[in-house]
Amino acid sequence: MKERGLLIVISGPSGAGKGTICSELRKEMPNLVYSVSMTTRDPRVGEKEGINYFFRTKEQFEELLAQGDFLEYAKVYDNYYGTPKAHVMDLLDEGKHVILEIDIQGAMQVKDAFSDGVFIYIVPPSLSVLSNRLNGRGTDAQDVINKRLSLASSELALAHRYDYIVVNDILDEAVEKVASILRAEACKISRNKEKIQDIYKQYMTKE
Ligand code: 5GP
C-alpha cells in the first residue's frame, strides 16, 4: 500500500502571492497536485472553468453543500467557496500531495478533520505592499480591494493557528521556504511507517 500524500493547506490574504508560489512549487515538486475549488463568484478575465475554479450558481452550490459533497467551505466576500471532497480523497490515497489554497475559515474546518495536514500561512511583507499588489493587479473594483485589505488585517490575528508562516517578500525565497517545509514534512517518521518497516526488513535479512 502507498503512503498517503500530504494534505497541504495554504492560506493568506488575496494578493499575498499564494497562487504564484503554488505554481512555482509544482514545477519543483511533480508529485504535487492542486485541488480545484468551486465558487459562486464570477470568473475574472482569463480564468477558466475547471482550471482556476468550477464556477457555479448559488443554488447549485447550496445543493452540493446539502449533499455533504464539500471537504470544507466558506463564504468569502459574499460568495461561496468550497473544496469538492471526493477528488481530494482519491488523490491522497494515490499518494499525491494535494494543495488546498483556501481561506482561514475553511482551513480551520480542515484542521478539525485532518490534524496531520500541513498548514501554511503566506503573508505579504506589509499592508502597503499588499495594497499596491491588489491595485496593480487591476482585476478588482476599489470597494472589493478595500474589503480584502480590512479582512487581511483581521485574519492575521488568527495566523498562529497554522503550523508555518512564510513572508512573501522575494518570491524565489518564499517558494524555497515552502518547498523545504514540504520536504521535511514528507520525511516525518509518523508519515513513513510502511517505509520504516521495509527498511527494517532489509536490515534484518542482511547477513
Ligand atoms: P479569489 O476570489 O481571490 O480567487 O479568492 C478569495 C479567497 O477565497 C482567497 O482567500 C482564497 O484562498 C479563498 N478560497 C478559494 N477557494 C477556496 C475554497 O475552496 N475554500 C475556502 N474556504 N476558501 C477558498
Report the pLDDT value the prediction gives residue 131, as an integer from 0 to 100: 87
- The pLDDT of 14-32, averaged and rounded, is 90
- Is 81 touching ligand 1 by the criterion CB < 6 Å? yes
Q: Whose C-alpha lies nearest to ligand 1, atom 6?
A: 14
Q: Is the pLDDT of residue 38 over 80?
A: yes
Residue 188 structural domain: 7-205
In this prediction, what percent of the chain has a pLDDT beyond 90? Answer: 67
Assess if residue 94 is contained within a domain.
Answer: yes
Centre of ligand 1 from the C-alpha of residue 107, in Å: 10
The verdict on pTM exceeding 0.85 is: yes
Report the pLDDT value the prediction gives residue 183, as an integer from 0 to 100: 95
Centre of ligand 1 from the C-alpha of residue 152, in Å: 13
- Is 40 touching ligand 1 by the criterion CB < 6 Å? no
Mean pLDDT for the chain?
A: 92
Assess if residue 18 is contained within a domain.
Answer: yes
Query: Which amino acid is located at 128 in the chain?
Result: S
pLDDT per residue over 74-126, tens digit each? 998 789 999 999 999 999 999 999 999 998 999 999 999 998 999 999 999 98
Assess if residue 163 is contained within a domain.
Answer: yes
Cβ within 8 Å of residue 86, ≥6 positions away: 69
Query: Which amino acid is located at 8 in the chain?
Result: I
- The pLDDT of 11-18, averaged and rounded, is 89
- Is 76 touching ligand 1 by the criterion CB < 6 Å? yes
- The pLDDT of 58-73, averaged and rounded, is 97
Cβ within 8 Å of residue 144, ≥6 positions away: 77
Query: Which residue has better confidence, 207 or 202?
Result: 202
3-state secondary structure the chain: CCCCCCEEEEECCCCCCHHHHHHHHHHHCCCEEECCEEECCCCCCCCCECCCEEECCHHHHHHHHHCCCEEEEEEECCEEEEEEHHHHHHHHHCCCEEEEECCHHHHHHHHHHCCCCEEEEEECCCHHHHHHHHHHHCCCCHHHHHHHHHHHHHHHCCHHHCCEEEECCCHHHHHHHHHHHHHHHHCCHHHCHHHHHHHHHHHHHCC
Q: How confident is the model at residue 207 (pLDDT cuts 50, 70, 90)?
A: low
Binding-site members for ATP are: 12-19
Assess if residue 84 is contained within a domain.
Answer: yes
Q: How confident is the model at residue 64 (pLDDT cuts 50, 70, 90)?
A: very high
Binding-site members are: 12-19
From the CA of 37, give the closest atom in ligand 1: 19
Report the pLDDT value the prediction gives residue 153, as an integer from 0 to 100: 83
Residue 38 and residue 56: Cα distance in Å, rounded?
7
How many independent structural domains does the chain possess?
A: 1
Centre of ligand 1 from the C-alpha of residue 30, in Å: 23
Assess if residue 1 is contained within a domain.
Answer: no
pLDDT per residue over 141-175, tens digit each? 888 888 888 888 888 888 999 999 999 999 999 99
Report the pLDDT value the prediction gives residue 20, as an integer from 0 to 100: 93
Report the pLDDT value the prediction gives residue 72, as an integer from 0 to 100: 97
**Checking DSSP bridges between strand 79-84 and strand 70-76, what pairing results, if any?**
antiparallel
Q: Which CATH number characterizes residue 114's domain?
A: 3.40.50.300
